[in-house]
A and B are shown apart, each in its own frame.
Chain A
Amino acid sequence: MKDYFRNIYQAIVTILIGMGVTFRHLFVHAVTIQYPHVKRELPARSRQKLFVNIDDCIGCFQCARACPVDCIMIETVKAGKDEDLGETSNGQKKRLHVVKFDIDMAKCCYCADCVFPCPTECIYMTPDYEFATYDRNSLLLHFAKYSPEQVKALHERQEKEALAKAQAAKIKAAAGTKKPESET
Chain B
Amino acid sequence: MNKSNLPPSRFELEVPNKLKTEEMTLSMGPQHPSTHGVLQIILKTDGEIIDSADPRIGYLHRCFEKHAENVTWHQVIPYTDRLDYIASMNNNLGYVIGLERMMKLEVNERAEHLRVIVAELNRIASHLIALGTYGLDIGAFTPFLYTFRDRERILDLFEEICGARLLYNYIWVGGVAYDALPGWRDKVLQFCDYFLPKIKEYNDLLTFNKIFIDRTANVGVIPAELAINYGMSGPGLRGSGVPYDLRKIDPYSIYDRFEFDICTGRGEMGTVGDCWDRYWVRVAEMYESVKIIRQACEAMPDGDAKETVPRNIKVPAGEYYMHTESPRGELGYYIISDGGKTANRIKVRSPAYSNLSILSSIAPGVMIADLVAIIGSLDIVLGEIDR
Contacts and interface: CB of A to CB of B under 8 A. Distances in A.
B164 interface: yes
B167 A22 contact: no
Nearest to A32: B149
23 contacts: A11-B210, A14-B209, A14-B210, A15-B210, A17-B204, A17-B209, A18-B204, A18-B205, A20-B204, A31-B149, A31-B152, A42-B159, A45-B159, A47-B164, A67-B75, A68-B71, A68-B76, A68-B78, A68-B79, A111-B167, A111-B169, A112-B164, A112-B177
Contacts of A79: none
A45 B178 contact: yes
Interface in B185-243: 201, 204-206, 208-211
Contacts of A18: 204-206, 209
B162 interface: yes
B161 interface: yes
A50 B384 CA distance: 28
B159 A43 contact: yes
A130 to B, nearest CB: 16
Contacts of B74: 66, 113
B142 interface: yes
B197 to A, nearest CB: 12
A47 B168 CA distance: 10
A14 B78 contact: no
Contacts of A110: 164, 167
Contacts of A15: 209-211
B23 interface: no
Contacts of B77: 111, 113
A66 B312 CA distance: 11
Contact of B160 (A14, A45, A109, A125): A45
A38 interface: no
A125 B177 CA distance: 14
Given A47-B162, A125-B163, 5 more contacts: A14-B210, A15-B209, A17-B208, A21-B201, A111-B81
Contacts of B209: 14-15, 17-18
B271 to A, nearest CB: 16
A167 interface: no
A14 B163 contact: no
A112 B169 contact: yes
A13 B204 CA distance: 11
A45 B71 contact: no
A47 B167 CA distance: 10
Contacts of A68: 71, 75-76, 78-79
Nearest to A127: B163
A139 to B, nearest CB: 18
Contacts of A89: none
A12 B221 CA distance: 27
A11 B213 CA distance: 10
Nearest to B209: A14
B201 A45 contact: no
A18 B202 CA distance: 9
Contact of B211 (A11, A20, A21, A112): A11
> Which residue, of A15, A66, A67, A112, has the highest number of chain B Cβ atoms within 10 A?
A112
Interface string A17-60: 11011100100000100000000001101110000000000000
B152 A46 contact: no
Contact of A7 (B162, B206, B210): B210
A22 B78 contact: no
B163 A47 contact: yes
Contacts of A67: 75
> Which residue, of A10, A22, A113, has the highest number of chain B Cβ atoms within 10 A?
A113
Nearest to A30: B149
Given A11-B211, A31-B152, A113 B159 contact: no
Interface string B149-173: 1001000000111111001010000
B169 A45 contact: no
Contacts of B205: 18, 21-22
A43 B160 CA distance: 6
Interface string B34-49: 0000000000000000
B270 to A, nearest CB: 13
A21 B152 CA distance: 20
